[in-house]
Amino acid sequence: MEATKAMLARIEAVEPQIGSFITVTHGQALADAEAADRRIASGEMTFLTGIPLAIKDIFLTEGIRTTCGSRMLDNFIPPYSATSWEKLHSHGAVLLGKLNQDEFAMGSSNESSAFGVCRNPWDRTCIPGGSSGGSAAAVAARQATATLGTDTGGSIRQPASHCGCVGLKPTYGRVSRYGVIAYASSLDQVGPLTRDVTDSAIMLGALAGHDPKDSTSVATPVPDYCAALTGTVKGLRIGLPKEYFIAGLDPDVQKTMDAAIETYRRLDAEFVDISLPHTDYAVATYYLIATAEASSNLARYDGVRFGHRAEDAAGLLDMYTRSRSQGFGAEVKRRIMLGTYALSSGYYDAYYVKAQKVRTLIMQDFMRAFGDVDVILTPVAPTPAFKIGEKSDDPLQMYLSDIFTIPVNLAGTCAMSVPAGFSAAGLPIGLQLIGKPFDEETILRAAHAFEQATEWHTRKAVI
Amino acid sequence: MRFQPVIGLEVHVQLKTASKIFCGCSTAFGSEPNSQTCPVCLGLPGALPVLNKQVVEFAIQAGLATNCSITPRSVFARKNYFYPDLPKGYQISQFEDPICQHGWLDIQVEGQESKRIGITRIHMEEDAGKLVHGDVSGLEEGSGVDLNRACTPLLEVVSEPDLRSSDEAVSYLKQLHQIVTWLGICDGNMEEGSFRCDANVSVMPVGSETLGTRAEIKNVNSFKFVKQAIEYEIRRQIELIEDGATVVQETRLFDPTSGTTRSMRSKEEAHDYRYFPDPDLVPLVIDDAWVQRTRDELPELPEQRMQRFMTEWDLSAYDAEVLTASRSLAEYFEACVALHVNAKAVSNWMMGEITRALNDSGTSIDCCPVTPRLLVELLKLIEGGTISGKIAKTVFEAMWQSGKEPATIVQEQGLVQVSDSGAIEAIIDEILTREAGQVAEFRSGKDKLFGFFVGQVMKASKGKANPAVVNELLLSKLKG
């Protein structure tokens, strides 16, 4: 209860400067905290009992408005909760609120949210990253002990990198997607954003596992992720893909990567130069597959059963058109149109089918590389956080900010972002560790060892 | 010029599973609107489909019964279009890799040779909900959506364009209907829409190799309507061509009241469904063992059973066909013959009294008050000479009404047949004395009066006199 009250006070104090929340669930938080206190008193607690958390507004919460950052769902109160949140809640975690995000998780800067700007706690003129911008900003601004995000093309890792926190995207199928508003179903995955790697391991342990309500969730046993945090990476083979260390990489990012590699060398890890030859095609492939799936996933927002419905419609078609025109923002409309086009008769083979084939090649790139190495180390993003408004008129530039994270989603494997340094301007820079499918343990171990050897994660944004 | 019709049928078979195809909601018909729904079939944000394994089981059965091959790895696809009864904005169906492919059925039209009709594919899909307009509880005006039916499992069975007449189409449809109801995977109720048919119809000049432009006719939901709709459509297309016009590719709606079809949407207005594999469902893998297990558990199908009835019980083709019209009928027959060896008598009674009584009362054979055991008891009374065949019909009526044992009824109503020649002789003597004039006429050569005397004797004995004994005694007395 103390922790929850302190966190609610902190949210109230700094929220005007950050904007990480869409909804603060005051009453729910106090009720959860009270229940947690009772549980602690009875001795039935776990690591997460009473821990104040906040979750991206993409997770359905029964009886609590869930907007997905969209005007379309401004009035949507779900009748059920996402499996992932239910799991955390069943451990006695406390819900502080629902976090800001890009509309329907489409964006890399949180600027497509219909619920106001979210600012980077390290420099409030900069974006926090996206789409889980509020999830990263809330951790960095110490408005929550940990948060939940979703990652379709980098939406956990990129904001974690920009806000200096630990962001983990588990393997596709590791965590249930049930009750998570779908953007691109074959790419979406739920994961935690935390202050350090241990918290990440605890959160993943609670989230992972098969869900009978999600056919794509996998029954692979859930290991004890905390036990994987041995502190050693001696002999660990780390791959450096040449396609990710390209000329033109931001010098601060390059410097940070060099230093990180040096740190791992000191810890007796081995480095192997590898190639992921189809990397160049990843962004194009992603923007065909993700938008195709999105165009279909977002068809249910038609104004018939829930969400925004235009009031002045003259007939069915007009109701559809107006409701969707009014409810969706520009980026969402752009992606729906791109995806509809990619699936259209006459274009399907040239776009969607071809993209699927390239996706297979990208997957094979990773599988081949993992024959030689245990983890792959890359930057998370080509630059530190950029200024608010800097790229919002240039979708292509915006899309390229996910160039290093997108291939992981296409391959379906796991990866995380770990704080690895700061730019000259004082903005956090993360390093990305990519693991084999369902081998979150190894990237957690590598991240933890790095964290032990550095102090980046202990720095706090001054607010 | 003479024209050759070419017809292909797409049949939607609603599966008789307890729960829906992608969620646990009930599939029962006729409940309060939207009472059988959940986040999945309402298409709420975040909800995900989970495949009902029973649906797969039923689909494999249907495939095997129609000689299809079962696809080892079949894929669900999304068919995208907007309509208020379609909650997700897409229907989960199968497109490129349907569960069953390349099957056939042999059909038989009266007076023609048996003909093989190809089945292109059978795929699984979910049904949509339905729109309700005004006058529904809780809805004072306008239109509403009832999603109870949304996500109900369907099989779509697509035939090759092998059918050449409305009779062939109806024969194919009836056979398919018989198979799915026989398998118990569909209740076959066409009025409630459990078995619905769309027909693709075109015509081409006799001898031509090139198919004509086809029209798809929707909403033909009885065997009679299928025949009507196809015949109307064939005439319409032939008239168009003969008038020098062309047939356009379009979707037409059948109107059962007028027996005609009218245009619903043209090819230009046709949807681009933007099919793509559903990323929420993993590919469905069916191994050989699963197929084999299903094959082993498949019931004996109507065609096989009919053949067996002919060889095993020496029934005529006609009798065997009637008795295998439904699985319940065939099973009733077998339950009887298991208790009673005279299959022919069972067959006659089933095709006579039982069928008539079932039809008159609108009862199905499953609910027949005269169970196989009771029917056999009745037949035993006839065979043992306790009652005559004629009296048996009276007893049957009483059994149908009361469900009592036939022996009890015979006892209660004093219907035991009289075979005692002394008693019958007494009756005959009385009649011959009374009808002396007729006797004289008979003796002078009017042979057909014999029937008159038999009738009089039977009447006097209230039908209980053994007809064989009556005949014998009458003859000797009249001739004597």
Q: The dihedral of CA B150, A74, A324, A283: what is its sign?
A: negative
Name the pLDDT band for B411 (thresholds 50, 70, 90). Answer: confident
Nearest-by-Cβ selection for A304 from B44, B46, B84? B84
Q: Two tokens at B305?
A: 């059973």
Provide the pLDDT for residue B252.
93
Neighboring chain B residues of A347 at a CB cutoff of 8 Å:
none
Residue B137 has pLDDT above 60, yes or no: no
Whether the CB-CB separation of A322 and A277 falls below 8 Å is answered with: no
Neighboring chain B residues of A345 at a CB cutoff of 8 Å:
272, 274
Q: Two tokens at B10?
A: 């797409």
B45 at the A interface (CB within 8 A)?
A: yes
Name which of B91, B276, B278, B285 to mutate to probe chain A: the one with the most chain A Cβ atoms within 10 A of its Cβ: B276
Residue B98 has pLDDT above 70, yes or no: yes
Q: Where are the domains of chain B?
A: 3-292, 300-413, 421-479
Provide the pLDDT for residue B480.
65
Neighboring chain A residues of B145 at a CB cutoff of 8 Å:
304-305
Question: Which of A144-153, A271-280, A382-391, B307-316 shows the lowest mean pLDDT across its residues?
Answer: B307-316
Provide the pLDDT for residue B458.
85
* Contact between chains at A305 and B87 (C-beta distance less than 8 A): yes
Distance, CA of B113 to CA of A11 (rounded, Å): 83
Of B151, B145, B154, nearest in space to B49 by CA: B151
Residue B126 has pLDDT above 90, yes or no: yes
Q: Closest residue of B to A306, CA-based? A: B44
Name the pLDDT band for B167 (thresholds 50, 70, 90). Answer: very high
Of A358, A356, A378, A375, nearest in space to A413 by CA: A375
Of A42, A46, A43, A64, nearest in space to A55 by CA: A64
Name the pLDDT band for A59 (thresholds 50, 70, 90). Answer: very high
Provide the pLDDT for residue B421.
78
Residue A244 has pLDDT above 60, yes or no: yes
Provide the pLDDT for residue B468.
83
Name the pLDDT band for A273 (thresholds 50, 70, 90). Answer: very high
Q: Within 10 A of A437 (CB to CB), how many other CB atoms are there? A: 20
Q: Which residues of B220-236 are buried (b: 16+ CB within 10 A; e: fewer)?
A: bbbbebbbbbbbbbbeb
Q: What are B344-374's pLDDT values in tens digits?
A: 889 989 998 888 988 888 888 888 888 898 9
Class of domain A2-282+353-458: alpha beta
Residue ranges of E strands in B54-134: 69-70, 73-74, 76-80, 90-94, 100-107, 115-126, 130-133
Furthest-apart CA atoms within chain B: distance in Å: 98
Distance, CA of A10 to CA of A21 (rounded, Å): 12
Q: Return the active site residues of A.
A: 56, 131, 155
Residue B142 has pLDDT above 80, yes or no: no
Give A237→chain B minimum CA distance, Å.
Answer: 33
Of B279, B294, B242, B261, nearest in space to B68 by CA: B294
Give A290→chain B minimum CA distance, Å.
Answer: 11
Neighboring chain B residues of A82 at a CB cutoff of 8 Å:
46
Give B106→chain A minimum CA distance, Å.
Answer: 36
Q: Where are the domains of chain A?
A: 2-282+353-458, 283-352
Q: How confident is the model over B166-178, as a mean pLDDT?
A: 95
- Mean pLDDT across chain A: 96
Q: Which residues of B98-134 are buried (b: 16+ CB within 10 A; e: fewer)?
A: bbbbebebebebeeeeebebbbbbbbbbbbbbbebee
- Mean pLDDT across chain B: 90
* Contact between chains at B80 and A178 (C-beta distance less than 8 A): no
Residue ranges of E strands in A152-292: 166-169, 189-194, 237-241, 270-274
Name the pLDDT band for B16 (thresholds 50, 70, 90). Answer: very high
Q: What are A436-457's pLDDT values in tens digits?
A: 999 999 999 999 999 999 999 9
Name the pLDDT band for B64 (thresholds 50, 70, 90). Answer: very high
* Contact between chains at B280 and A216 (C-beta distance less than 8 A): yes
β-bridge partners, B277: B77
Q: CB under 8 Å to B43, separation ≥6 — which residues?
A: A300, A305, B87, B88, B89, B150
Chains A–B, number of C-beta pairs less than 8 Å apart: 101
Name the pLDDT band for A14 (thresholds 50, 70, 90). Answer: very high
Residue A383 has pLDDT above 70, yes or no: yes
Provide the pLDDT for residue B339.
86
B51 at the A interface (CB within 8 A)?
A: yes
Q: Closest residue of B to A293, CA-based? A: B279
Q: Two tokens at A288?
A: 């065909």
Distance, CA of A183 to CA of A107 (rounded, Å): 11
Neighboring chain A residues of B82 at a CB cutoff of 8 Å:
299, 302, 320
Q: CB under 8 Å to B288, separation ≥6 — which residues?
A: none
Whether the CB-CB separation of B45 and A300 falls below 8 Å is answered with: yes
Whether the CB-CB separation of B122 and B68 falls below 8 Å is answered with: yes
**Topology given in CATH for the domain delimited by B421-479:** Arc Repressor Mutant, subunit A (1.10.10)
Strands A237-241 and A375-379: parallel
Neighboring chain A residues of B274 at a CB cutoff of 8 Å:
295-296, 340, 343-345, 348
Residue A228 has pLDDT above 60, yes or no: yes
Q: What are A85-94's pLDDT values in tens digits?
A: 999 999 999 9
Provide the 8-state DSSP code for A321: H
Name which of A176, A304, A345 to mutate to probe chain B: the one with the most chain B Cβ atoms within 10 A of its Cβ: A304
Provide the pLDDT for residue A219.
93
Residue A305 has pLDDT above 70, yes or no: yes
Distance, CA of A267 to CA of A259 (rounded, Å): 13
Residue B85 has pLDDT above 90, yes or no: yes
Q: What are A161-212's pLDDT values in tens digits?
A: 999 999 999 999 999 999 999 999 999 999 999 999 999 999 999 999 999 9
Name the pLDDT band for A18 (thresholds 50, 70, 90). Answer: very high
Distance, CA of B244 to CA of B242 (rounded, Å): 5
Q: How confident is the model over B65-87, as a mean pLDDT?
A: 96
Q: How confident is the model over B393-410, as a mean pLDDT?
A: 86
Distance, CA of A366 to CA of B359 (rounded, Å): 70
Provide the 8-state DSSP code for B139: B
Provide the pLDDT for residue B438.
84
Q: What are A136-150's pLDDT values in tens digits?
A: 999 999 999 999 999
Q: How confident is the model over B150-177, as a mean pLDDT?
A: 96
Provide the 8-state DSSP code for A208: B
Name the pLDDT band for A463 (thresholds 50, 70, 90). Answer: confident
Question: Which of A69-78, B20-29, B331-340 shows the lowest mean pLDDT across its residues?
Answer: B331-340
Provide the pLDDT for residue A263.
98
Provide the pLDDT for residue A397.
82
Q: How confident is the model over A275-299, as a mean pLDDT?
A: 97
3-state helix vs strand vs coil in chain A, percent to 5: 40, 15, 40
